Structure 1
């Protein structure tokens, strides 16, 4: 039963990264992220993960919300069944996968 617990820990760690991650000069605090979500400027994490899973199935390892050139991006790391970690970059507003 260690696997579900490990998954829960990885997801929790990823969500912490989402709320705190950004470039050093462009950090987003919890209130900013909440406002972006409430105003529809960024998608909820569940929708972003659903989009990422269509490209790369696996478990969330880490996720960061970043602001880059005025656009919001999620950088997501997914652990695949074969043990490899895949890095994806998604548009936070649309869920479109920008980089694999």
Structure 2
């Protein structure tokens, strides 16, 4: 597989830590990419993320897009906004970002329950 999910900070000593939530082959691929200098360890990316977008990590995926590795990160910011970001895994450069108010899903559900929805 070319991607894996990480439910939180899964790093020890600058390397991706093991977890039962993804296959050994995914772990091996990610570790080898870190060792080979193809990607930065997640803790280095998270330093950049937390500096620019303080909040709680919700989800991380590491994907290979052709020759480019990317970290897709979902974060609950301190102001209640859910932000999805994509970072170049080798350079920690932000490639894109989207935001969604955290309460939007609850508000949409409340409207439909009240008969106000479509």
Task: Tell me the TM-score normalized by structure 2.
Answer: 0.61
Q: Which runs of 5+ in 2 are unaligned?
A: 1-5, 11-15, 98-118
Alignment of 1:1-100 (within 5 A): 13-15=7-9, 20=22, 29-100=26-97
Deviates more, 1:67-76 or 1:28-37: 28-37
Answer 1 or 2: which has greater helix percent. Answer: 1
**Aligned equivalents of 1:69, 1:38: Cα separation in 2:** 19
**Aligned equivalents of 1:36, 1:79: Cα separation in 2:** 28
Contact 1:62 1:77 survives alignment (8 Å): yes
Q: Which runs of 5+ in 1 are unaligned?
A: 1-11, 21-27
Answer 1 or 2: which has greater strand percent. Answer: 2
Task: Tell me the TM-score normalized by structure 1.
Answer: 0.70
**Aligned equivalents of 1:66, 1:33: Cα separation in 2:** 10
**Aligned equivalents of 1:68, 1:15: Cα separation in 2:** 23
Compute the RMSD of aligned alpha carbons: 2.1
1:56 is displaced (CA, Å) by: 1.4
Q: Report runs of 4+ in structure 1 exceeding 6 Å deviation.
A: none
Q: How many residues align?
A: 81
Using CA pairs below 8 Å that are at least 6 residues apart, which structure has the higher relative contact order?
Answer: 1
Contact 2:9 2:43 survives alignment (8 Å): no
